[in-house]
Amino acid sequence: MVNKKDSDDPEKSFVIRDKRFSAQKEEEGAAQAKPEAKKEEAPPGETEPEQKAALPEISFVNLILSLSTSALIQLGEIQDPTTQQAEKNLPLAQQTIDLISLLQEKTKGNLTPEEGQLMEHILYDLRMRYVKATG
């Protein structure tokens, strides 16, 4: 809601009051007043709002970095966060590297110079690590 302090004086500014927070508190108070009202549980797979804020932004660079991290896990270079163990899965690592290569081919001409360089460096590094792991 916007209220103008004084319409006669053009140098005075507007006052902006955000009533969303107070409206939210009223809704929470009403929900607590009704004990029979059940809280809705989040469906499986959904996270709390605090957890959503901690997620990185969705971008092409983050997609490539995520795939690269997966390949490093599959090469046994870093620990799998779920098992806390470094295990090699070379066929899956090769498939992930090929997937990044496919993305590089399909996005050629549509990437910024920085994105293109990042893909080149990541693919080179992963391919060298794969050769080392298989040799």
Evaluate whether residue 77 is within a structural domain.
yes
Evaluate whether residue 52 is within a structural domain.
no
Evaluate whether residue 113 is within a structural domain.
yes
Q: What is the pLDDT of residue 37?
A: 46
Question: Nearest Cα to 122, choosing from 68, 53, 56?
Answer: 68
What stretches in the chain show pLDDT beneath 70? 1-53
- Measure the CA–CA gap between 77 and 128, rounded to whole angstroms: 12
Read off the pTM. 0.60
Evaluate whether residue 37 is within a structural domain.
no
Evaluate whether residue 46 is within a structural domain.
no
Q: Which residues pair with 68 in a beta bridge?
A: none
- Measure the CA–CA gap between 130 and 93, rounded to whole angstroms: 8
Structural domain boundaries, residue 120: 58-134
Q: What is the pLDDT of residue 2?
A: 47
Place of tokens 């809705």: 40
Evaluate whether residue 78 is within a structural domain.
yes
Domain tally for the chain? Answer: 1
Evaluate whether residue 122 is within a structural domain.
yes
pLDDT (tens digit per residue) in 90-118: 999 999 999 999 999 999 999 999 999 99
Evaluate whether residue 105 is within a structural domain.
yes
